[in-house]
Each structure stands twice: as structure tokens, then as C-alpha cells.
Amino acid sequence: VLSLIPPETQGTIVDLGSGWGNMAIHFAKLFPHCQVIGYETSLVPYYFSKIWAFFDRTPNLKFVRRNFFKVHLSQNSLVYCYLYPGAMKELVKKFDEELNPGTIVISSTFSLPTWEPVKILEVKDLYN
């Protein structure tokens, strides 16, 4: 996934449903010039992420315990999501309404219905 992101990416990167924080921390390390925000509502993964980020000393990273459907996404340059198909279906409308032209959207495993991908990267895992 990280190889898909142009190295010249600027601005804010968000991880919608950041879980345990793994991808958000990788984004923050790879793009130290970008602000990275991980949104997570589940209490245990959220606190785990906060603790990991504290000990990892990644100043451009923050985790927010908030429902990302209630966050306006227009100020972001890259949006990453690894969510179940129902959430992806709901995100299509939100993305269509809020994302600016040129915003990079990376979806892991599950597609955004009605969107045509620019690139598909297949990996040898449970879901291919």
C-alpha cells in the first residue's frame, strides 16, 4: 500500500478506522512532512494506538476517538481505509460530496462501489 503513495504527497493523511494504528504510524514515518490523523471509535484499539504513538515519538501523528462519518474530509490530501463492505458503500456518498479533486483514496481489500480504481494491487493473502 505504501508504495502506491506518491513521495511528493503533501498535506494531511487520514486513516479512517485506524484500528491498532499500524498504517497511520507507517504513514507518519514515511511522510514526516505530513500531518497524519487516525480516526478510531473502538476504545481498546484507540488507546493502544495512542500508547504506541507516544512511545514511538512520531510528532506528526495523532489519533482521534471519533466517528469519521462525522468528520469533514475536504482538507485531506490522502484518505486510507480498510473497512467492511457496508462502510465502503456509505463512504462513496461522503467521498463524492466532500473530497476535493485530486485527493488520493486508498482502499485496502474492499472496493468503493461505483468507483473505478486507478490501480489495483493484488497480494497473496486470504482475500487476494
Q: How far is CA 82 from CA 8, 33, 70, 92, 107, in A?
A: 23, 23, 18, 14, 6
pLDDT digits (tens, 9 = 90+) for 23-62: 999 999 999 999 999 999 999 999 999 999 999 999 999 9
**What is the per-residue pLDDT for 49?**
96
pTM: 0.91
